[in-house]
Structure 1
């Protein structure tokens, strides 16, 4: 039940990957023979499948190792270009962005290369669009807002944010890694400038992702090499991973709307089961506007690490983002939301996906309820 960290690979996706690894194993840049031609065709098909899912053109898709690399290319590539004109970029980000955005921008700010502006959220991790518009109106070179929060699941009004950014001619980068394949996104129609995604959040393989970008937005590469992907992201293309990403996107485009409704029903059932036996349980985030698979809870008075230690061999849930696991610090998302100390310390992220059964939901509820009741008894 940690689908926000990663999802199992759909068997249909795995079949396509296996075929690419064992039969159609050509290098997409080897244009002197048919094996290379077929690999190149497979990459182009995958670009179309990614583009179709997010409402973009295939020529806007650059394949990367995942959303972290995509975000770094988008942010650092923009900064590198602006520095050529001796402009010190002003970048605005929300306080609940993923560490790939926060830490990249913090490093650039520490180096004195950018001015960094933070946009705050409320106790449900919602943005104040008025503050966001004021920030854009004061003049910034890049706005970074995620499509959906990776901890509490709050969904952001990306279409409205893009409209505000456009009205002030501000490039808009959206980290959509938790949203793609779960909620509809229309990159071109909404006027996004750049969008990052990862395959392993939508039943594809780990280690592959994409940056979707407007070609009139100037970017400088972070790497140099063979000039692949128009020089923006050189290196031998990971054809099996790219094909897996493409197939995962194709399947989500077909099945997403039905799957997410069912996932939402399972989430609500789990929430009801937990609340029936743990009355002090708190639901974090925007309950009216969250990802269907997200259930972020707090049990005040019981440290989350204590619960995790008790259930970790039976139940896969987390205290927060997988990228921050093992870091001895409270969640920056919950801190930014201004939640009380007991709520922050008792926070658990449960995230559901399409392969969970009704019995899985029931068993998870039993395991978690028994653990909490036992800990409460021991602490009494």
Structure 2
């Protein structure tokens, strides 16, 4: 456990809330899990009980399940939940007004030394922290689902988050057995979702323009490029509406094929149909031979470019970007490493060709990428790109 944190409050008992509660209790913390809905609290507690025992049976933790469960309290009373907490992690639904209301109350009910964290995956840390007069002690702690199993945690700075607050949050995540990465600026999508965006979005633009098929894109990215899931298969799993609303909130253009599915209510596995049919059909049906002819470099060039924006803007280091993508998405390697392998000059040429062909700003090369190439730092073959290499 972290020395200055003994008692943790988790606000929200849904999938993320009860998962974070479980992870903290397994790590030895006393945890209060709070939700406004008693039924949600009861369900969350049942899920924790089942999971703690199942993971112990599998040898995935060596804590005594009964001792873990004894460290968890539940309540519907916010003031009671946070009064003695050394760290508070908010995991309520992704609605800015709701989160701001919670943080307004937290400033009143918590000790001035308490760490205040939000688990938001898409909202601005700065906007949430603005609901308090203590923005310097508000930080993003973005766990990935399911929190008890996923290693990655993004530690996200708001505009006023202090270094001390971010360091405490980082050390707390480490004490849970997680691998944290710093996200030093409050950018939309943080690190992982920023890079994941083009992986999902660019194939959707290609299918919308009749330049590829769903099966072709998925087959190429899995069987030729080694990703654990194709972009359309992944969208069906996470919910097509999730990617849609993230782009809508950010004011980004939405590929027509994505918009069509959302308007039809075909959101993926949860509705029985998305890009693939999960009720009358077999789900994802692509085969290795379907990959032929897909322009995968167009997709990967955009991912490398997104990484270059993050590195160039001092949001994260190449190591943090790559760690985030490997642990947060299961990608075989991060975009900085892959870009160096491909050759950053080849990546830049692809972006410029696509920019000319489509007229779209989404291919505009990052200044940092252009600078690397102009300096001859084109990747592995040159001995220097995002990383330095021994001859």
| TM-score, normalising length: structure 2 | 0.32
More helix by share: 2
Which structure would you say has the larger RCO, counting Cα contacts within 8 Å and 6 or more residues apart?
A: 1
| TM-score, normalising length: structure 1 | 0.33
